[in-house]
Amino acid sequence: MNRTYYSQNGQDFLIDLEIFDQQRNGFFMEIGAYDGIKYSNTYFLESKRGWNGICIEANPKVYPDLKRNRSCVTLNACLSTQPGVEEFLCMTGKMEMLSGLKREFSSQHLLRIENELKRFGEQSEIMPVNCYTFEQLVLDHSIEHIDYLSIDTEGSEFSIIKSIDFSKTSISVISVENTYHNTGLNEYMVFKGYKKVARIGEDDVFVLL
């Protein structure tokens, strides 16, 4: 695979070549952007195809790296079904990318965290984070259309998807981390007019019909 791609399992390769056919100057939103480069699904689009967009990262310890690494709009916030302050479980070291909203963690994810904390000897702490709704975000930034939406939030992905008013914001392509194979996600996306075109790594990729 071309080394200029950055996603963990080739998501950006698929998005760029097979879905958007190397389209230039599109608009993306990446929810759960980490540092903006490592395993990023949108960095290639921004740096090589001239796309613009918004990167959102809830972890306050990682956000400074995201802000430094990306030229697009960046936000240190989380997306939730309701605005306000929520508890964010922040992991350290090798487990940092498993951090997320505590109340959204499934029993499977909590067990994974427990096992890997023992395995790697890392630490965790609960931190308060500011949360916004998807509707508030698109209103604040005057967004009516998103070419590519990437969601990787360690458990809250489906909640975010269900909070989107697709009649107000059109989205062409969505990739969603679905680690534990939630079949309800595919059913919901079909109901909203999307077709699942790929599963790459732990991500399901949907295209609007």
Q: How far apart are CA 158 and CA 185, in angstroms?
A: 7
pLDDT score at 52: 99
Q: Which residues share a beta bridge with 175?
A: 150, 205
- Alpha-carbon Rg for the chain, nearest whole angstrom, is 16
Kindly give the parts of the chain with pLDDT less than 70: 1-3
Domain boundaries, the chain: 11-84+134-208
Superfamily for the 11-84+134-208 domain: Vaccinia Virus protein VP39 (3.40.50.150)
Q: Which of helix, strand or coil describes residue 59?
A: coil
pLDDT score at 70: 99
Residue in the structure block whose two tokens are 């697709």:
166
pLDDT score at 59: 94
Region of 150 on the Ramachandran plot (φ > 0 left; ψ -120 to 50 alpha; else beta)? beta
Strand blocks (E) in 63-154: 73-75, 78-79, 84-91, 100-101, 124-132, 145-151
Q: How far apart are CA 60 and CA 203, in angstroms?
A: 24
Region of 34 on the Ramachandran plot (φ > 0 left; ψ -120 to 50 alpha; else beta)? left
- Amino acid in the structure at residue 96: E
User: What are the phi and psi torsion angles at 89 (to 5°)?
Assistant: -85, 110
DSSP secondary structure letter of residue 98: G
pLDDT score at 95: 84
DSSP secondary structure letter of residue 62: T
CB 9 within 8 A of CB 1: no
Q: Which of helix, strand or coil describes residue 36?
A: coil
**Comparing C-alpha atoms, which of 61, 161, 49, 36 is closest to residue 104?**
161
pLDDT score at 116: 85
pLDDT score at 71: 98
pLDDT score at 102: 86
